[in-house]
Amino acid sequence: MTDTPALPTAPPTPDALNAAEGLDPVDPAYAGVLRVATALNLIPLAIGASVLDALLIRHLDGPYGLMTAAAWLIAIVGIVSFPSRRVSRWGYRMGEGQLRVARGWLFRTDTIVPFVRVQHIDVGQGPIERWFGLSHLIVHTSGTHNSMVTLPGLPTDLAAAMRETIRRHIQTDFA
């Protein structure tokens, strides 16, 4: 009997990885928050490249418009594709006595915060998040390394409920 080599399997998708680990995904509307934030960062750079192209390339008798087209193409690809990919790589699980937050693809970070280590909890909301009805949960822990864990992309009512759950655990642990 001959052994057939196993076919290589494709790496798991971020959604499949989060599901296999039992993690809840962040709200898909968080991709909209990231798109707006990415646009606010990349569009001025694309405009700057267009101005540089108009001012510099014409004097050098080079291919006018090449830098402009490349800058706008990079900006559009960044605005359309990267935010949804980042959102799919975030996951969390609120367990008994702990919060688990995982993010990343190439460099995956999986943080577990026991509630007994929590110093205080913040629910934050920037103007773009407010527009989309989302918030981010910030858990401050004792210690110096990784003493602040942020979980973005939560619906505002869920973030407040998670804060209250953690607060109740803190009160019962120290009461």
Residues 75-86 pLDDT 10s: 899 899 999 999
The stretch 7-18 carries a mean pLDDT of 55
Confidence at 18, pLDDT banded by 50, 70, 90: low
The helix or strand, by DSSP H or E, that contains position 167, with its residue range, turns out to be helix 156-174
Confidence at 12, pLDDT banded by 50, 70, 90: low
Confidence at 155, pLDDT banded by 50, 70, 90: very high
Instruction: State the burial class of residue 40 (Cβ atoms within 10 Å of its Cβ: 0-12, 13-18, 19+).
Output: exposed
The stretch 125-145 carries a mean pLDDT of 92
Signed CA dihedral, 67, 70, 73, 75: sign only: negative
Q: Count other C-beta atoms under 10 Å from residue 43's C-beta.
A: 15
- Phi first, then psi: give them for residue 170, nearest 5 degrees: -65, -45
- Tell me how far apart the alpha carbons of residues 65 and 75 are, in angstroms, rounded to a whole number: 15
* pLDDT reported for residue 24: 94
More confident residue, 111 or 173: 111
Confidence at 14, pLDDT banded by 50, 70, 90: low
Choice among 3-12, 22-31, 117-126 with the minimum mean pLDDT: 3-12
User: What DSSP string runs through 50-96?
Assistant: HHHIIIIIHHHT--TTHHHHHHHHHHHHHHHHHHHHHHHT-EEEEET
Most confident of 19-28, 55-64, 93-102, 136-145: 93-102
Does residue 105 sit in helix, strand or coil?
Answer: coil
More confident residue, 98 or 13: 98
Confidence at 28, pLDDT banded by 50, 70, 90: very high
The stretch 10-33 carries a mean pLDDT of 75
First CA to last CA across the chain, in angstroms?
67
Paired tokens of 69: 């087209």
* pLDDT reported for residue 8: 52
- Tell me how far apart the alpha carbons of residues 175 and 152 are, in angstroms, rounded to a whole number: 30
The stretch 133-161 carries a mean pLDDT of 91
Paired tokens of 60: 């050098």
pLDDT score of 4 more than 60: no
Signed CA dihedral, 162, 163, 164, 170: sign only: positive
Q: CB neighbours of 47 closer than 8 A, spacing ≥ 6? A: none
